[in-house]
Amino acid sequence: MTALTGQLQAIVGPEGVREHAPLATLTTFGVGGPADWLVEPRSVAALEAVLRLAASSELPVTVLGGGSNVLVADTGVRGMVVRPRLTGISEPMSGRVRAEAGVTINGLVRWLIGRGLAGLELWAGTPGTVGGAIHGNAHYAGRNISEHIVEVGLLSSRGVLAIVPAAEMGFGYDTSRLFDTSEVVVWADVRVAGGEPDAMRAVARASLAHRKRTQPLHLPSAGCVFQNPDPTRDRIPMGIPWSAGALVDRAGLKGASSGGATISTTHANFIVADKTAMATDIRRLIEQARDAVRRQFGVELRDEIVYLGEW
């Protein structure tokens, strides 16, 4: 056991830290190598202390939520992978619900519907956690989750807490300021209103049914690998729908594979992985699709998934 592991154990307990910890099972793709250290703080104070220790030890920190939007390199991730296990939900005031970073979006949707609080029912079926949804501004049916966020509790890389209004979060399509600042989401306050549970359940069920119809949910994936084209930057040839999936499909790549990775025949913006898949297979296929779309349509597809580790 290294000295650092001992220091981490003093903060998060022996169960909360592992050296050379496999990450594949913590991601929906199910691929990728180990973290030098995997640290799972269960309180805000522990998360703060872990970040301070990483900063003073000059170790890189990578945050992992539900692992549903990441591709972890086969060689793994150097330094600390911090997986906040903060799972509290509360109502700090009327019209607002505070969900901690490790709460799953599905758990939050269920919690809200159970209390007759409307807001996030459209997001039913979105894998992952509040932390990941804030980082990438999770979207569904043309709506961004940021529309429902009032403010966010963020820790700096040195473990200092800031309460940031949504307007200062740098939210955009698939993005937030966290891509630049490397701050860690501790909690998010969601705006809610009184709602009729049966009506909310109907919206949630419709979202789930739509996903079931249009996405390969029975196979490991990380959802859409590419962002949809941006109307202010990209030009799409006439007759092709304004979506990355349509471009990959028209480029003839549905069903293409590389090792254990295949471009889904159900949804061309999903790559599905079998048990033999390596992260490099998935990455190769992503680049093959990007190249084909660039060559055939002159459109540069941008990544929606996040690469963790060295690439």
Ligand X SMILES: Cc1cc2nc3c(=O)[nH]c(=O)nc-3n(C[C@H](O)[C@H](O)[C@H](O)COP(=O)(O)OP(=O)(O)OC[C@H]3O[C@@H](n4cnc5c(N)ncnc54)[C@H](O)[C@@H]3O)c2cc1C
Summarize as ranges the residues that interact with ligand X (CB under 6 A).
28, 63-70, 84, 101, 126-129, 131-133, 135-136, 138-140, 178, 184-185, 215, 217, 221-223, 306
Residue of 165, 181, 160, 189 lying closest to 45 (CA atoms) = 160
If the CB atoms of residues 95 and 107 are measured against ligand X, the closer one turns out to be 107
Which residue, 75 or 266, has its beta carbon nearer to ligand X? Answer: 266
Residue closest to ligand X when measured from CB atoms: 132
- State the nearest-atom distance from the C-beta of 235 to ligand X, in Å: 24
Q: Which is nearer to ligand X, 206 or 217 (CB)?
A: 217
| Cα distances (angstroms) measured from residue 261 to each of 18, 69, 223, 255 | 29, 16, 14, 10
Q: Of 131 and 229, which has the nearer Cβ to ligand X? A: 131
Least distance in Å: CB of 293 to ligand X? 20
Nearer to ligand X, 49 or 297 (CB): 49
Closer residue to ligand X in complex, CB, 81/293: 81
State in angstroms the smallest separation of the CB of 138 from ligand X: 4
Minimum distance from residue 145 beta carbon to ligand X (Å): 8
Residue 127 CB, shortest distance to ligand X, in Å, is 4
Please identify, using beta-carbon distances, which residue of 139 and 250 lies nearer to ligand X.
Answer: 139
Would you state the structure tokens that stand for residue 91, as one six-digit string? 């109502």
Count of residues in the chain: 311
Shortest distance (Å) from residue 305 CB to ligand X = 8
Least distance between ligand X and beta carbon 162 (Å): 13
